[in-house]
Structure 1
Amino acid sequence: MAIDFEHIVAYALPIVMWALIVSITLRQLTKRQSSTAMLSWLMIIYLVPVAGIFAYLIFGEINLGKRRVKAFKLLQPKYAQWFQQIKQQKNVIDSDRTLLSAPLFDLAQNRLSIPCMQGNELHILDTPESIIKSIVEDIQRAKTSINMVFYIWADSGLVNEVMTALIDARRRGVNVHILLDYVGSRHFFNSENCRYMRENGIEIAEALHVQLFRVFLRRIDLRQHRKIIVIDNEIAYTGSMNMVDPKFFKQDSNVGEWVDVMVRINGPVSSVLNGLHALDWELETEQKLPLSLPVPNDNLYPLHTANRHTVQILATGPGYPEDLVQQALSTAIFSARESIFITSPYFVPSQNITDALVTAALRGVNVTLILPRKNDSLMVGWASRTYFDELLAAGVNIHLFDRGLLHTKSVLIDNKLALVGTVNMDMRSFLLNYEVTMVVEDEEFANEVSLLHENYQQGSVKLDYQRWVKRPMYKRIIEKLFFLFSPLL
């Protein structure tokens, strides 16, 4: 009796589906991950099997791809040796530790081998105009090199001033290397301005190029999320702002203008950020960039104990030490004795971070979260609210920012220890994105961060716990439904 193709498919498809579901289930039960992530994936594949299996095969595992894994392993010893050379520059290495900073600085150095550096002049810039003006002025003074990494580069407005300054710098002999995430900057790569910049000698490279036909060979949603500018190995910028003008960027998302900060750094830690750019650049292009040792900022000496202008750089992402972001945040939170202030545009943290915040509040620490009221991600906006009940009940203060989309990522501990950078309070930043965070113990800088948070609070509305718990049942259901997809956020 002949069996046609349709009968074969009818019998084979359920068997294949069953085998995949069993395999994924076993993988989830044995994989090292949070119970929340495991249960979310199991719910997805059992509730919507076809879509769930397809989603897991694409997004379920952190797969860098063979070429990237091999390249990263080859480059690691080279850059580790260079960081060791920096450690020999005793005049810029900070060996002092206070009770507040010691655990976090030790964790970073033991896991990354990136030295903690003193003698840096730090200033927060908190408006697009001040940020772009400062960047343009420094570009105009550049003598040898300008290196940049951004997630998003979007034409128009103030960004065109940066483009003009870069072209002028290249014409006078400055080397310019710009690395941009392929997905975040996809529109720019197809723009006339990108072509014009390249024609004028500016090197622009794509990071993490997406190839749809390789979706099952390498995870396609890994992103280069760092924001770094380094000029002449002496001046650097990092923070939360992409190379965009908020007056033009995502105006159709109905969340208002994006609110960001960048930190201008004048000092030896700029060389560490330059090294990270060089590593990212070589990983993507296979082209080597020069590595220069730090230049001491003599204008800041002598240094005082309270204000050593000390900076520790945290570089995280796939291939870097696992769970370092969560470990660093947990260490910072547990070190708090008086206060914790956190700003983040996307708040879908791990259970470990949630528990740390709850515990801090219960032991009497003043814990304050400042989050945007409106979010450009519908799923994140709803999923983040599932955490509010537990946090509010423990005494955590939650303020919802009303003056646009608060995109600043910052943590301030006891008004002394600050973390500022690109890391969001979500699993994407914890596990999937290449991120950079500067950890600073410095009273002057902490005061700047504190004033920034006060300004954000003035533009926010504080949630009332009693009113929050009385919100309609349909909102609770929507929150829980979107929370199920937290592994994909």
Structure 2
Amino acid sequence: MDKIYHILTLVSIGIYWLLVALVTFRIVFKKRAVSVSLAWLMVIYILPILGVFCYFLFGELNLGRKRAERAKAMSPSFGEWFTQLNHCQAHITENMGAHIYKIDELCNHRMGIPALSGNTLALQRDPKVILNSIITDIEQAQRSIRMVFYIWHVGGLADAVASSLIQAVKRGVNVKVLLDSAGSHRFIKSHWYQMMKDAGIQIVQALEVRPWRIFLHRLDLRQHRKIIVIDDTVAYTGSMNLVDPAFFKQDSGVGQWVDIMVRLTGPTVNVLAAIHCWDWEFETGVREFPQIPQCRIDDGLPRHPIQVVPSGPGMPEYLISQALILAIHQSNQSIRITTPYFVPSSELLSALKTAAQRGIRIELIIPHKNDSTMVKWASRSYYGELLDIGIAIYEFYGGLLHTKSVVIDQQFCLVGTVNMDMRSLWLNFEVTLAVDDIEFTQKLSRLQDEYIEQSYPVTDEEWQKRPHYNRLLERIYYLFNPLL
């Protein structure tokens, strides 16, 4: 019997090391950032068995066979739809600012999406104003409502939005709602979810999480976009989930979430509608395109060109990351960033360092308290090198600052759903607006001023006095940065 146990032990060890060797070769030969490969190698060697298991779950961008085939089949048709927009009057390249012109070139060449003029924008910052504005627009809907959100949470005015959608369906409005299965899991289990389905709302779980699917597709790949399109004439996007902050994560200890949304009219609305159609077909297989926008631009009206920059599996890789880095490299005076999660890729970090070394004034505003402990310590692991090259860091004390915004030279901005971490920039379904509108940009900049007033600057002198325990946690989580 001892010999049998001995043989079984040797066989088990042999099988395990063979598995580790195979996964190691898989990691080494997979084309990805070196930092990511090294992080995964560290995980599988430090965490026996568990590390290999985690790699199979989270290590590769596995959409599942059906979704991968669907995404491949969708791309040509959506590319043709987007390309048509290049021939309409709203695509006016000669009047574009320098910042958005280059991003228009990038998005046009990679996905066929042009920057379009003739839009109006309203920056909304108060959650009650945002939710009431959404409800008002839903109440006026006549034909269609498209929505996609990472989180829908029961309570407060969020329930009023659900009620207004039910009333819209009763008026004959076609309502399609796409919710991330993980982010909205509590809402999906609530009575509101079933009430909406029973009323006739087409409500679908994106990237559904099921125990038996854990080896069929990557579990931490999420639908993180926030888009509302009403009658293809009004749209919303930004950082705010479909939640009433007064009823959302009140026991998390980070304070109320602080967000913004942008309300749009004009041809860019139809582009956001097309992004929703992409997501809907990706999840359901049902194809539908919005109408081509009315592209006539009246003389004398503001141009307000906007570039919609989407990213996610099945779309051109790293498109938002490229647009962000391109904007940073074009800066001439200043860059100001607000983000709840700052775990930059090596490319983004290098772009920020280069800008700072060119003499660009860079300010980073992030929350003092974070709902993710790992991200909190990983973010702080960068403080030292950022402070050394003159980048100003402010920690926001007015709640969990969830706004994702970048203001360049007080003239150009990016605003949307993407965090400054590798999960958002490399993996998730995200959308960002690149806005070439000085008036809107300066409103956003003034809001960032208010964020700074509710923040404390992190000084190099104080940072050097932090406890050794903090330094240890920073170094540990720094090693896992590529996987966060």
Correspondences of 1:224-243 after superposition (within 5 Å): 224-243=223-242
Cα pair 2:377 2:474 within 8 Å, conserved: yes
1:373 is displaced (CA, Å) by 0.3
| Alignment match, 1:91 | 89
404-413 vs 165-174, which deviates more?
A: 165-174
| Alignment match, 1:56 | 55
1:472 is displaced (CA, Å) by 1.4
- State the TM-score, normalized to the length of structure 1: 0.95
Cα pair 2:149 2:180 within 8 Å, conserved: yes
Correspondences of 1:264-275 after superposition (within 5 Å): 264-275=263-274
| Alignment match, 1:373 | 368
Q: Please list the CA deviations of residues 151-177 of structure 1 after superposition, one character each: whole Å capped at 9, or x if unmatched.
A: 001111010111121112111111111
1:296 is displaced (CA, Å) by 4.4
Give structure 2 stretches of 5+ with no counterpart.
Answer: none
Q: Number of matched residues?
A: 483
Correspondences of 1:287-326 after superposition (within 5 Å): 287-296=286-295, 301-303=299-301, 307-326=302-321
Q: Distance in 1 between matches of 2:130 and 2:453?
A: 22
Q: Distance in 1 between matches of 2:98 and 2:433?
A: 19
Correspondences of 1:3-402 after superposition (within 5 Å): 4=4, 6-88=5-87, 90-96=88-94, 97-296=96-295, 301-303=299-301, 307-402=302-397
AA at the equivalent of 2:170: R
CA distance change for structure 1 residues 66 and 108 in 2, over 3 Å: closer, same or farther?
Answer: same
Q: Distance in 1 between matches of 2:283 and 2:314?
A: 14
Cα pair 1:147 1:176 within 8 Å, conserved: yes
AA at the equivalent of 2:435: V
Q: Please list the CA deviations of residues 436-471 of structure 1 after superposition, one character each: whole Å capped at 9, or x if unmatched.
A: 011111111111111111111111111101110221
CA distance change for structure 1 residues 78 and 8 in 2, over 3 Å: closer, same or farther?
Answer: farther
Give the one of 435, 438, 443 matched to 1:440.
Answer: 435
Cα pair 1:44 1:484 within 8 Å, conserved: no
AA at the equivalent of 2:260: V
Cα pair 1:147 1:231 within 8 Å, conserved: yes
AA at the equivalent of 2:232: N
Q: Percent identity?
A: 47
375-384 vs 49-58, which deviates more?
A: 49-58
SS in 2 for 1:247: helix
1:252 is displaced (CA, Å) by 1.5
Matched, 1:406 2:414: no
Q: Distance in 2 between matches of 1:231 and 1:8?
A: 67
335-344 vs 28-37, which deviates more?
A: 28-37
| Alignment match, 1:416 | 411
Cα pair 2:345 2:482 within 8 Å, conserved: no
1:277 is displaced (CA, Å) by 0.7
Cα pair 2:103 2:307 within 8 Å, conserved: no
Cα pair 1:120 1:297 within 8 Å, conserved: no
Q: Distance in 1 between matches of 2:108 and 2:6?
A: 61
31-40 vs 360-369, which deviates more?
A: 31-40
SS in 1 for 2:245: coil
Cα pair 2:39 2:483 within 8 Å, conserved: no
1:262 is displaced (CA, Å) by 0.4
Q: Distance in 2 between matches of 1:368 and 1:274?
A: 33
Cα pair 1:40 1:485 within 8 Å, conserved: yes
Give structure 1 stretches of 5+ with no counterpart.
Answer: none
Cα pair 1:369 1:396 within 8 Å, conserved: yes
Q: Distance in 1 between matches of 2:112 and 2:237?
A: 20
Cα pair 1:176 1:203 within 8 Å, conserved: yes
Q: Distance in 2 between matches of 1:229 and 1:112?
A: 22
AA at the equivalent of 1:35: V
Q: Distance in 2 between matches of 1:430 and 1:12?
A: 42
Give RMSD over aligned pairs: 1.7
443-452 vs 394-403, which deviates more?
A: 443-452
1:390 is displaced (CA, Å) by 0.5
- State the TM-score, normalized to the length of structure 2: 0.96
1:297 is displaced (CA, Å) by 7.5
1:105 is displaced (CA, Å) by 2.0
Cα pair 1:143 1:174 within 8 Å, conserved: yes
Q: Please list the CA deviations of residues 305-328 of structure 1 after superposition, one character each: whole Å capped at 9, or x if unmatched.
A: xx5211100110112111222221
AA at the equivalent of 1:267: G
